[in-house]
Structure 1
Amino acid sequence: MSSLKTKPAWLCLFWESGVNSEYRAELAAVAIGEWSEMIINLLNEAEEDGTLRSIVDIENTAGAFVGFLQGSQIDAVMGPHEFNPDRLTKQLDAYLDLLAK
């Protein structure tokens, strides 16, 4: 039971370290920027292939997808039994189905 109490504190400390450490904040920003760029490229490729649903703004869709991925990471850390790989994969598939034609 005590391990359950430390997870939220650990997660808060993780995000707080990004707020209080310029280096860690920059590291997170670079990683998120790389994710966003990769997702934008993939969405552009899907649009060119004709497999992407009509989306007005690919950049905002990529931003929403990055938010989904960050939330999935938190779910996996906070509830690894409930948010197991099978469930997370099904959630990812459902999200991607929303984008496909």
Structure 2
Amino acid sequence: MPKIVDHDQRRLDLVQATLRLIVRQGLNGATMRDIATEVGFANGVVKTYFGSKADLLAATYLYVFEATNARVATSTTGLRGLDALRAFAYEVLPVTPALHDEARVVLSYLAEVAQNPEHARATAETMELWRAWIVSWLGEADADGRLRAEVDIESETEVLLTYLLGAQTSAIIGGRGFDFAGFRAQLDYVIARLGRPS
């Protein structure tokens, strides 16, 4: 009787191996051969599931993005407005070792996106979900009377997205204020700047 292969599990195994290797060795150290070895597959098996390293990297980015969104769904349950926005940002900002590792994967992918218009479009689409969430939470804060009157929700949403993505770059570069405590302090400042004085 032929062996039944769980193709979805194999794809997931390859994505998770890619994430681990990027964290350990960087993008250049995560070759298709290394990824196959990490999972215990023959080198040719990877090509069966992902036509190129760029495709595998895109799938790894989506894995991280979906994992982030699952954490956001849990952490924002029962929250609204600025409280929900803060909880969301804590799941995106590199404020823990695990989130710092995810930032490395995201940055590796974005370097590839710069050379691939198709992946750039797909990445822009993922950001639309975050954009919609931020607009909604700022709208709730406004409706609750917690948002400063001068805050422009659409403009502030773009600023917040730029900050969150930029923080991932800053985490990898390092330097003064770009550590776990520094990012938490920055987020406190950003949220306080949006809210009405108590």
Same fold, TM-score > 0.5, yes or no? yes
- Per the alignment, residue 29 of structure 1 pairs with 124
- Per the alignment, residue 54 of structure 1 pairs with 149
Query: Relative contact order: is structure 1 or structure 2 higher (C-alpha 8 Å, sep ≥ 6)?
Result: 1
TM superposition shift of 1:13: 6.5
1:70 aligns with 2:165: yes
- Per the alignment, residue 3 of structure 1 pairs with none
- Please state which structure has a larger fraction of its residues in helix: 1
Identity percentage over the alignment?
Answer: 27
**RMSD (Å), alpha carbons:** 2.9
Please list every run of at least 4 consecutive aligned residues from structure 1 whose deviation after the TM superposition is greater than 2 angstroms.
Answer: 10-16
5+ residue gaps, structure 2, are: 1-25, 27-103
Report the TM-score, using the length of structure 2 for normalisation: 0.42
Larger of the two Rg values belongs to structure: 2
Cα distance in 1 between the residues matched to 2:138 and 2:167: 20
5+ residue gaps, structure 1, are: 1-6
Question: How many pairs does the alignment contain?
Answer: 95
* Equivalent residues in 2 for 1:1-101, closer than 5 Å: 14-55=109-150, 57-79=152-174, 83-101=178-196
- Per the alignment, residue 4 of structure 1 pairs with none
Report the TM-score, using the length of structure 1 for normalisation: 0.76
Q: Secondary structure at the match of 1:54?
A: coil
Q: Which amino acid aligns with 1:77?
A: I
